[in-house]
Amino acid sequence: MSLARFTLNPRFPSMWRDFDDFFRGIEQPAQNTERMLVPTADVVENDKAIEIHLELPGFAPEAIDVKLEGNQLTVSATRNEEKTTENKGWLRRERSLGSMSRSFTLPNTLDGTKPEASYKHGVLTVTLPKKEEVQPRSLKVKVEA
pLDDT tens readout for residues 72-86: 999 999 887 766 556
Reported as a pLDDT band with limits 50, 70 and 90, residue 62 is: very high
Strands of the 34-37 sheet, one edge to the other? 34-37, 97-105, 72-79, 64-69
pLDDT value of residue 124? 95
As a whole number of angstroms, the distance between CA 78 and CA 124 comes to: 14
- Which DSSP symbol is given to 109? T
Stretch (H or E) spanning 98: strand 97-105
Residue 74, SS3 per DSSP: strand
What pTM, to 2 d.p., does this model score?
0.63
Q: Inform me whether the pLDDT recorded for 9 exceeds 70.
A: no
What is the number of other CB atoms lying within 10 angstroms of the CB of residue 56?
A: 22
Reported as a pLDDT band with limits 50, 70 and 90, residue 45 is: very high
CATH number, domain 34-81+95-134: 2.60.40.790
Residue environment code for 87-126, b if the CB has 16+ CB neighbours within 10 A, otherwise e: eeeeeeeeeebeebebebebeeebebeebebebeeeebeb
